[in-house]
Amino acid sequence: KEVEAITDVGLLDQRATETGLQDALKKQERWRAVHFACHGLVDPERPMLSALALTADVENDGFLTALEIFRMKIPADLVVMSACETGKGKVYKTEGIVGLTRAFMFAGAPRVICSLWKVHDEATQALMLKFYELWNPKQGAGIPAAAALQQAQAFVRSQDKWKHPYYWAAWVLWGLP
């Protein structure tokens, strides 16, 4: 539901593969956003094996790892990982945090939205829909990503059932505001 509501080009079900992603990325010179609504798998000891769970196909296992992302070109203004714990990684004294976020930035995205802990599906969907409504509206110009994320978090926080920070505070923006 989340992907269908926010995108013009969505890879769902059997099309949501690593191969499908690579093919879709080639269809435009630059993307406004590349959005992943899936499961995040973090390997705290081997952060290059942290992955987003996609669909397997004959060419790929369905786990888009940080190592594979480092080797890709992702020409997007923003990557959103609407998945659990995608902002986690391993801290190296000389490198900082290495994980999925760093991989997407290296692949070409100047900003990445990710989560710091396991997130609630319904609250996350509401947050993402509000974020895109503000940042990339169907008509007119949107507001900057940082402001859109902040306002989307405030929207989720304003709902009685999601007041607790667990529901909205996991989301962070890395990179350019």
Neighbours of 44 (CB within 10 A): 12
Q: Which of 39, 38, 34, 49 is nearest to 89 (CA)?
A: 49
Average pLDDT over residues 129-153: 93
Summarised one tens digit per residue, pLDDT across range 43-84 is 989 999 999 999 999 999 999 999 999 999 999 999 999 999
Calpha distance 158→13 (Å, rounded):
33
**pLDDT of 99:** 95
Q: pLDDT band at residue 14, thresholds of 50, 70 and 90?
A: confident
Count how many Cα atoms sit within 13 Å of the Cα of residue 91 in the half-sphere of its side chain: 1
Find all residues with CB under 8 Å of 168, minimum gap 6, and list them. Answer: 123, 127, 153, 156, 157, 162
